[in-house]
Amino acid sequence: MLLLACFAAFGSIQIARADGNGQIQPPHAPDTLAQSSGAADGVKQDSDTSFFDSIAKHVSIRNSFLEDSEQAKPATFSWTKAKGNVSYYSVDAAVQLNVPSFFPSNSFFGEHHLQIQPLFEAHVSSDTNNAQDSLSARLPISMTFLKNDTGFVKRWYLTVSPVYEFDRLNDNETIGGDLFVTPNIPRIGIGKWWPGPDVNTLENPTVAFHWRPYVGFEGGHVLKSQAGTILSEENEYARFAAKLHGQIDLIYPRTNAKGNKEIGTRFALTADYFFRQELTGSQHDFNFVEVSPILYLDRDQHVSVGLSYKNGKTTPKFSKVDELNLWVGIKF
């Protein structure tokens, strides 16, 4: 599994998609959403897809499962060698099999689609003292509800995931699941760049912002726990969980190979905050923050460099994380 995680570090694709009007879709949003928004100048059509784009239709490699910052953040690999200290590596990556959506139908909630997309995720480091340490296998079952476009909330996304999670040395191990829901509310920048850029009128580089909240629950059974950790306090767990993602992009107008206008991005600043509150046992609460500036080295975002700062406590064992990494990311 560690070899798979290392492979994941060398690639990423753009999961969150943005159309000509800045509409952004979170991970797991089916391709039919992009089609339903209508073709516009700046939207990459099938005739423009490259060999690597064709691969990306079937396999997604990105930084993490539950975030739409994949529009900016690739899977990353970093190696640190400090004078007088032991060198160490860090990997942050998620590998997902893209399965077409099915069961499209209409109901009281509007048009909806269902997807099942198995994935493996790794956030590991050979620095065992202060680094994030999590490997997990998931089977996300995602439902997309398309509301009336004239309403305040345009869409709802619901994801339920069976999860098997463990640390690098397999000292802590859990099996369970989670449920998260998030809306699209373009008027306040959820799921759409704000202020919304128009590909036909954008002339100079500018800054655009978007954000996304997630709320849900996590629960499961502790298979193995390291003595003295919070995980060792009980055999079963249930938690309320919430995540907030924010992102600032430096966007600019450009033309593609066919001469059509589109919006490009060369720099992004992302921030993620995760809050967990135990509903059983000692009822601890946990906070985890990650901030990443990212610089893309080519127009198609195949190669990037960035910096990530992580602080707080996160799954599976909730030990203290306090790390700063300079990394290389590659998308394909």
The residue ranges of every structural domain in the chain are 2-330
pLDDT score of 188: 92
Name the pLDDT band for 71 (thresholds 50, 70, 90).
Answer: low
**Alpha-carbon span 313 to 317, nearest angstrom:** 8
Q: What is the token pair recorded at 97?
A: 């099999």
Question: Which pLDDT does position 110 carry in this prediction?
Answer: 56
Distance CA 321, CA 131 (A): 5
Structure tokens at 135: 């490997």
**pLDDT score, position 37:** 29
Tokens of 119: 């994935």
In this model, does residue 191 exceed pLDDT 90?
A: no
pLDDT at 324: 87
Q: Which of 141, 120, 147, 151 is nearest to 33 (CA)?
A: 147
| pTM of the predicted protein model | 0.78
pLDDT tens digit string along 215-260?
999 999 999 998 888 888 889 999 999 999 999 999 999 888 888 8
pLDDT of residue 102: 64
What's the pLDDT at 106?
60
End-to-end, the C-alpha distance of the chain in Å comes to: 21
Do residues 79 and 110 make contact, with C-beta atoms less than 8 angstroms apart? no
Rounded-to-integer distance, Cα 258 and Cα 218, Å: 46
Rounded to whole angstroms, what are the CA distances from 296 to 270, 303, 326? 14, 6, 14
Chain centroid, CA 279 distance in Å: 26
More confident residue, 136 or 81: 136
